[in-house]
Amino acid sequence: MWCVAELDDEYIAKMEDVLALYERPYRSAEPVICLDEKPVSLHDDVRPGRPARPGHIAKRDNEYRRCGTANIFAVVEPKAGRHSSCATPNRSAAQFAQVVQRLVADYPFARKIHLVMDNLNIHCRKSLTDHLGAKEGRYVWNRLQVHYTPKHGSWLNQAEIELSLVSRQCLGTRRIPNLDLLKSSVSAWNIKANRDRTRIQWRFTRKAARNKFGYQRNLSRRSKT
C-alpha cells in the first residue's frame, strides 16, 4: 500500500522525473541504478536448536540474544538484473561514500550513471568529498546524475523492492548474530540473483500517475483530488 503525500508542484516534478527515467529503454552506456538502505537487527540463539532430520522438523528455542544492529545498502540496476547490495556496520556518510565509490567503479565504461535515491541527509556530494577526499569525491559525484524521489515518495525507488527481495529470500526468519555472517549471506544472495538475472518489472508510468492522481502535467501541476 502506498501512502502518498499531498501532491504539490515539487512532488509531481520529482515523481515524473523518476518515472520518465524508468520508462527509458535499457542503455548500457547510461545505467539506471536505485539505492536505498535498511537497518537490520542481529540476533543469536541462547540455546542451540535441533536441526531437521528424517521424520522430524527443525526446532528453535523462542529465546534469543540481541547482538546489536547493522545495515544493508540495496543497490540494483532493475532492467539489467544486476544486484550489488551489501551489508555494512551502519548507514553513516562514510559507509555511503564507500558504497557509491564501488558502484561507480563497477561501471567504468558508462557515459553517465543515473542514480535514484531518497532525500536522506547522507545522500549528497558532501558525504563523498568528506570521506573520499575532495578530488576523488568530486570525480565520483560527477560520474552520477542523481534523481531524488519526492519527500514522502520513497515508494518510487525500486531499491525498496530490492530490500524486500533480500529480506524475504536472504534473511528470512533465521537469526543472524554478526556482521560477517550478514555480509556473506547478502553476497551469496547477490551471486544467485545475478546468475538468475532477476529483474524488476516496474509498470507504474507517468500516464498511470496522471490518471491515478488526477492532474494534467501539461496544463496544471496541482492535484485536483
Per-residue tens of pLDDT for the chain, all 225 residues: 456 767 889 999 999 999 999 999 999 999 999 999 999 999 988 777 677 678 777 776 677 789 999 999 999 999 999 999 999 999 999 999 999 999 999 999 999 999 999 999 999 999 999 999 999 999 999 999 999 999 989 999 999 999 999 999 999 988 999 999 999 999 999 999 999 999 999 999 999 999 988 887 754 444 333
C-alpha cell at 7: 501532491
How far apart, in whole angstroms, are the C-alpha atoms of residue 32 and residue 49? Answer: 43
Which residues form the domain of 174?
A: 9-42+63-213
How far apart, in whole angstroms, are the C-alpha atoms of residue 61 and residue 15? Answer: 46
Residue 219 forms part of a structural domain: no
Counted domains in the chain: 1
| Whole-Å CA distances, 73 to 12, 67, 80, 166 | 27, 19, 18, 10
Residue 223 forms part of a structural domain: no
Q: How many other C-beta atoms lie within 10 A of the C-beta of residue 63?
A: 8
Model-wide pTM > 0.95: no
Q: What is the pLDDT of residue 223?
A: 38
Residue 49 forms part of a structural domain: no
As beta bridge partners, residue 117 has 148
H or E segment and range at residue 45:
strand 32-45
| Residue 93 neighbours by CB under 8 Å, 6+ apart | 122, 126, 127, 130, 131
Three-state secondary-structure class, residue 56: strand
How far apart, in whole angstroms, are the C-alpha atoms of residue 93 and residue 82? Answer: 24
How far apart, in whole angstroms, are the C-alpha atoms of residue 196 and residue 216? Answer: 40
H or E segment and range at residue 42:
strand 32-45
DSSP structure string for 58-126: -B--S-EEEEEEEEEEEEEETTTTEE--EEES---HHHHHHHHHHHHHT-TT-S-EEEEE---TTSSHH
Residue 56 forms part of a structural domain: no
CATH number for 135:
3.30.420.10
Residue 4 forms part of a structural domain: no
Residue 55 forms part of a structural domain: no
